[in-house]
Amino acid sequence: MNRNFLSTLLLAGVLGSAPALADELLIEHVEKTAEITRPQLGQSMDEVRAQWGEPEKMEEPVGEPPITRWEYEVFTVYFEGDKVIHSVVKQQAAEILTAEPEPAP
């Protein structure tokens, strides 16, 4: 067979499998970050403080309705008024917390 044809065929196989691999990695990442405990929809600011303590950083409310952002080491919490509307695990924290342990020598 022609060497260029084999190279093209090999490249097509590698590139064709890349989206599937990316999807698998994204799904694994989402599943692992879902296991990380963080504030849930509807919790109040007082409930979040009671469970996780004071945030490292608190942004002032912005917009109407007012949206407030609290930064913790592992996640960010978004409030509308006094209630959680979303919490997001920080990518760097997720990578550390969900990393596979190194095998023992």
Contacts of 23 (CB under 8 A, 6+ apart): none
How do the domains of the chain map onto residue ranges?
Answer: 1-35, 38-99
Neighbour-count burial for 10-22, b at 16+ CB within 10 Å, e otherwise? eeeeeeeeeeeee
pLDDT at 92: 73
The CATH code of domain 38-99 reads 3.30.1450
pLDDT at 79: 98
* Ordered per-residue pLDDT tens for the chain, 105 residues: 455 544 444 444 544 545 554 444 445 545 556 678 899 999 999 999 999 999 999 999 999 999 999 999 989 999 999 999 999 988 776 666 556 666 666
pLDDT at 91: 79
Q: CA separation (Å) from 40 to 44, 47, 56, 71, 95?
A: 9, 10, 19, 15, 21
Q: What SS3 state is found at 16?
A: helix
